[in-house]
Amino acid sequence: MDFNLTEEHLMIQQAARDFAQTELLPGVIERDEHSIFPAEQVKKMGELGFLGMMVDPKYGGAGLDSVSYVLAMEEIAKVDASAAVIMSVNNSLVCAGLEKYGTEEQKVKYLTPLAKGEVIGAFCLSEPEAGSDATSQRTTAIDMGDHYLVNGTKNWITNGGTASTYLVIAQTDASKGHKGINVLIVEKGMPGFEVGPKEKKMGIRGSDTHTLLFNDVKVPKENRIGEDGFGFAFAMSTLNGGRIGIASQALGIAQGSYELALKYAQERVAFGKPIFQHQAIAFKLADMHVKTTAARLLVHKAAVEKDQGLDIAHSGAMAKLYASEVALEVANDAVQIHGGNGYVAEYHVERMMRDSKITQIYEGTSEIQRIVISRGLVK
């Protein structure tokens, strides 16, 4: 068991850290305040290979391992959780799903530009009545012979307005239950496909979250991923990997909050000495550091198991559950350590506290993760 990072891992970590500090940190408060999508920054992320990190180079990706990915995700999320979730969806859900299950033609046509960062993608599973319950799809994809006719609504879709490629989970045959669900590649601009208004959110305001509307959208049969009825299995498999991405985002929020609090505690003077020298603050920082380190170990363990080809349903759920709870706890403590300044935008921690909450919700709520974990306890 080796806990040391390789030289390549350290280089990737440093590259992501440099990008976050030089490209994401300037303007991050303004983007949050005005819900501005970081278009220029995302373009540069693509140029640096951060949007297709684990994709085979023959499809335009960087060909890196999952550990490299979570290291980069943590550094990005430490500064801008909105940019991190854009990166996570493109890598963990869209690119990963296409590369693992797509046909060669689908990989060449769709995966390559996504991995290169020339375009970004969206994963469309959640609906008004089918969030965590993925079997209750109301969006339909009726088999019309050479194409599917898609009708329905998708909610809370990250990259909903800026994506060009959408992986849409829809019900083809309700009588078959979860075995009647398919996943289709929908392109922006297809007749009948409409992007709804942007959501106004508590956190991750820089990412664009939209409702998507499908009204008799004609999707060619060749845009189906996998065999007929494979959609539910596709979604569950892809989400297992997606949880590692969200866990690393949560870890980044926690680590970023801790670092800001530690720096502030060494600079802020109260009662004649830096507040770090007061035991109440020092102990709080110690707990924050322990929680964040423990979360990192869980995230890295899940990433290593993914690279080894092991079943990551259990380890991914544990990493996502714990890291997301730590993110909220540590960000809250960071605000407390900052005192009144913690409530002010310029100190960043109030934004990080708002951003942390969503990590407990998307890719399956904390309650869903506990269900997954508990099912893995009995063999």
In sequence order, the 6+-apart residues with CB closer than 8 A to the CB of 262 are 276, 285
What does the alpha-carbon distance between residue 330 and residue 346 come to, in Å, rounded to a whole number?
Answer: 18
Please report the pLDDT score of residue 136 as a whole number. 76
Give the pLDDT confidence score for residue 39 in this predicted structure.
97
Residues tagged active-site:
363
pLDDT, position 132: 61
Rounded Cα distance between 150 and 169, Å, is 10
Q: What DSSP assignment string belongs to 316-334?
A: HHHHHHHHHHHHHHHHHHH
Instruction: Enter the DSSP assignment of 235.
Output: H
Mean pLDDT, the chain cut into blocks of 10 residues (379 residues total): 90 98 98 97 97 97 97 98 98 97 98 97 90 78 96 96 97 92 97 96 97 98 97 93 96 98 97 96 98 98 96 95 98 98 97 97 89 88
Enter the pTM of the model: 0.96
> In this structure, what are the phi and psi dihedrals at residue 358, rounded to the nearest 5 degrees?
-65, -25
Bridge partner list, 130: 127
- Contact assessment for residue 123 and residue 236, using Cβ atoms and an 8 Å cutoff: no
From residue 183, how far is each of 236, 243, 330 by CA, in Å? 12, 19, 38
Contact assessment for residue 185 and residue 106, using Cβ atoms and an 8 Å cutoff: yes
* 111 Cβ neighbours under 8 A, 6+ residues apart: 55, 59, 60, 95, 98, 99, 102
Domains annotated on the chain, with CATH: 7-120 (1.10.540.10), 122-231 (2.40.110.10), 238-377 (1.20.140.10)
Q: pLDDT at position 129, please?
A: 77
Q: Is 303 exposed, middle or buried (0-12, 13-18, 19+ CB in 10 A)?
A: buried
**Cα radius of gyration rounded to whole Å, the chain:** 21
Note whether 261 and 334 are within 8 A (CB).
Answer: yes
Q: Distance between alpha carbon 194 and the CA centroid of its chain, in Å?
A: 23
pLDDT score for 131? 67
